Amino acid sequence: QVFINDKKYACATCIKGHRSSACLHSTRSLFEIKRKGRPQTQCERCRERRKKDRSHVRCNCS
């Protein structure tokens, strides 16, 4: 993997071939490796409020 500013990057060929952790192709165009799972939909403030109040509310901050 290629690390740039503490973010993981890999080329498209290695991502498609499920080899993103072994990618060392720094001359090809690189794409950021996203985190596994569903993306977070709430901001940090609403997430903390949800944990504190134990209620799941929609985030309207943004």
User: Domain residue spans in the chain?
Assistant: 1-34
State yes or no: pLDDT of 2 exceeds 70.
Answer: yes
Query: Of 3.90.430.10, 3.30.420.10, 1.20.950.20, 3.40.50.2030, which CATH number belongs to 1-34?
Result: 3.90.430.10
Confidence class for position 35, pLDDT limits 50, 70, 90: confident
Q: What percent of the chain has pLDDT over 70?
A: 98
- 3-class DSSP state for residue 54? coil
Average pLDDT score, the chain: 86
Q: What is the pLDDT of residue 10?
A: 94
CB 12 within 8 A of CB 32: no
Residue with tokens 């990057």: 9
